[in-house]
Homo-oligomer: A and B are copies of this chain.
Amino acid sequence: MTQDLEVFRAETRAWLEANCPPSMRTPMTGEDDAVWGGRNYEFKNPEAKLWLERMGAKGWTAPTWPAEYGGGGLSADENRVLQSELKKIGARPPLFSFGLWMLGPVLLEYANEEQKKEHLPKIVRGEIRWCQGYSEPGAGSDLAGLQTKCEDKGDHWLINGQKVWTSYANYADWCFCLVRTDTSVKHEGISFVLIDMTTPGVETRPIKLISGSSPFCETFFTDVKIPKGNMVGRLNGGWEIAKRLLQYERTNISGFGSNTRVDVVDLAKKHVGLEDGALEDRDLRARIAAHKMTERAYALSVQRAQEEAKAGGNVSHMASMFKVAGATLNIDRCELMVEAAGNRALGWSGEGFTPDDLATTRGWLRSKGNSIEGGTTEINLNVVAKRVLGLRDTQ
């Protein structure tokens, strides 16, 4: 077994050596370097295209998915070897994809054979870019209050309604979507469907955030017809799938904090300065120290949860806890960065501020969404209280 793994490691190393292009072994310099794939994706760097094609062909964008659906078919141990080898050469992720992170795992669990065969391989190869149609203007924290109607018209479903906060819907090829198939009940009247965004009647409108960026859209469905085969799971059985998918999303978003390019300590040293080796502003210093401790505590806890998961413990209920802690951590980090950078972090654009300064400001504003997207902190605290701690209303 261990010997097999060492063989696998050697082969993997050799393959990566031969196939990972040089520019794909350098650190990403910004969000623009993220490859999202899809029908209309334009690669800024031909080596990024090559890297995706090669990894996609081996199924290593989704290493543990079954090979029959285009995945790598690797065991958990083999995957750990692959990840460690990728890390060793500093390889960039070949693909960023809601299909990989969120939809794929639930398709594997809930979809029928035809649906798996149709969609999973394209996700693996980055050919189809997915977006998520969950929230609606009247259904945010109360997601199950969604109203987008899906009617059975015999040979097709007819969809009418509006979604909001659909990430990059304006770039997406397909949308996985929660719809209402029964108005007489709440949670039990929701279904999970897949919608081709090129279907007539689908419109998207980007939402500009307070940070100036537009990573989300409003998405409108007007008399959109989709094939009957596009429903995943049973009719009115969508809520269970939705909850499972939210866990993947929370785990994913809670990882934001680790994506730090500029360290708050470095920023503070630069803008605040040291005196006898300590930040001159002792008040800020104490708060940064507390933050760095929480950051370390969070990282150690993620590691612990992974270890417990590996040992067979059920840690899925911890997703909400990590979502809350991760979001809080990143918001605090961004606040401390803005405070440390002083008036250099009060800019919006122009030459008066460096690109790093402006990124601090914009990143700070963007971070405020972390405690809202993927389930608000309030909703996730409810989940921890009720599902993890067993505190329930008697009403």
Contact surface of A with B, Cβ cutoff 8 Å? 282-283, 285-286
CB<8 Å pairs between A and B, sample of 6:
A282-B282, A282-B283, A282-B285, A282-B286, A283-B286, A286-B286
Task: Give the distance to chain B from A293, nearest Cβ to Cβ, in Å.
Answer: 13
Once the chains are docked, how many angstroms separate the CA of A286 from the CA of B286?
Answer: 9
Q: What residues of B have a CB within 8 angstroms of the CB of A282 in the complex?
A: 282-283, 285-286
Q: In the complex, which residues of chain B have a beta carbon less than 8 angstroms from the beta carbon of A286?
A: 282-283, 286
Main SS class of interface, A: helix
Q: Which residue of B lies closest to A282 (CB)?
A: B282
Q: CA separation between A285 and B286, bound complex, in Å?
A: 11
CA distance A285 to B339 in the complex (A): 20
Q: How far in angstroms is the closest Cβ of chain B from A333?
A: 20
CA distance A283 to B283 in the complex (A): 6
How distant is A339 from chain B, measured CB to nearest CB, in Å?
13
Question: How far is the CB of A279 from the nearest CB of chain B, in Å?
Answer: 10
Distance in angstroms between the alpha carbons of A283 and B282 in the assembled complex: 7
In the complex, A286→B283 CA distance in Å? Answer: 6
In the complex, chain B residues whose CB is within 8 Å of the CB of A285: 282
A286 to chain B, nearest CB (A): 4
Inter-chain contacts of A283 with B (CB < 8 A): 282, 286
Residue of B nearest to A278 (CB): B282
Q: How far is the CA of A283 from the CA of B287 in the complex (A)?
A: 9
- Cα A285 to Cα B282 in complex, Å, equals 10
Kindly provide the distance from the CB of A284 to the nearest chain B CB, expressed in whole angstroms.
Answer: 9
Shortest beta-carbon contacts, A-B, top 4 = A282-B282, A283-B286, A286-B286, A282-B286
A393 CB, min distance to chain B CBs, angstroms: 11
Distance from A275 Cβ to chain B, minimum over Cβ atoms (Å):
11
How far is B275's CA from A282's CA once the two chains are assembled, in angstroms? Answer: 14
Q: How far is the CA of A282 from the CA of B286 in the complex (A)?
A: 8
Name the residue on B nearest A289 (C-beta): B283
Measured between C-beta atoms, what is the minimum distance from A274 to chain B in Å? Answer: 14
Inter-chain CA distance A348–B286, complex, in Å, is: 31
Per the bound structure, the CA–CA distance linking A282 and B278 in Å amounts to: 12
How many Å lie between the Cα of A72 and that of B282 in the bound state? 55
Distance in angstroms from A376 CB to nearest chain B CB is 18
In the complex formed, the residue of B with least CB distance to A286 is: B283
Residue of B nearest to A283 (CB): B286
Q: CA of A282 to CA of B283 in the docked complex: distance in angstroms?
A: 7
Q: How many angstroms from the CA of A282 to the CA of B285 in the assembled complex? A: 10
C-alpha gap A283/B286 in the complex (Å): 6
A285 to B281, CA, bound (A): 12
Complex Cα spacing A126 to B285, Å: 55
Distance of A280 from chain B, by nearest CB (Å): 11
* A125 to B37 CA separation, bound complex (whole angstroms): 87
CA–CA, A285 and B283, complex, Å: 9
Question: Least Cβ distance of A78 to chain B in Å?
Answer: 47
User: In chain B, what residue has the closest Cβ to A290?
Assistant: B283
Give A285 Cβ to nearest chain B Cβ, in Å: 8
The smallest beta-carbon distance between A128 and chain B, in angstroms, is 43
Closest Cβ of chain B to A63, distance in Å, is 46
Nearest chain B CB to A350's CB is how many angstroms away? 35
**Min C-beta distance of A67 to chain B, whole Å:** 54
A25 CB to nearest B CB, Å: 42
Q: How far, in angstroms, from A196 to B120 measured CA to CA in the complex? A: 82
Docked Cα-Cα span, A122 to B282, in Å, equals: 58
Q: How far is the CA of A286 from the CA of B144 in the complex (A)?
A: 46
- Tell me the bound Cα distance from A283 to B289 in angstroms: 11
CB distance from A226 to the nearest CB of B (A): 37
Closest CB in chain B relative to A148 CB, distance in Å: 25
